[in-house]
Amino acid sequence: MKPRNFFPPPPPPPRQDTVNQVIRKEALVHWFPMRITYHREMKIKALLDEMGVESFMPMHWEVVETKNGGRKRMLLPAIHNLIFVRSTQECLTQLKMTR
């Protein structure tokens, strides 16, 4: 005979909307250019992806020289210090103030 479970299963965790889902609910969603300082484009892109914010950074392949004199291809931003973010003006301002 199988033992009975007297405790009900725990409730599911509350659903949290990502920033992108909240943005889509609003009417004025546009692509905005966002200036990034000190060549931190990749860090900011990763942070926006983690937060669920839609963003775009044009990239291109470039051959760079290494310290030991070799060469290798690297994927680098095509436009330094610039990233495009799809959001509302209010949400973008809030994002820039929090981080």
Question: Where do the domains of the chain lie?
Answer: 20-98
Q: Is the pLDDT of residue 14 over 60?
A: yes
Cα separation, 56 vs 60, in Å, equals 13
Cα 5 to Cα 2, 8, 10, 12, 20: the distances in Å are 9, 8, 12, 18, 40
Q: What is the pLDDT of residues 37-62, one digit of tens each?
A: 888 999 999 999 998 899 999 999 99
The model's pTM: 0.65
Q: Where are the alpha helices (DSSP H) in 1-99?
A: 19-25, 41-51, 89-98
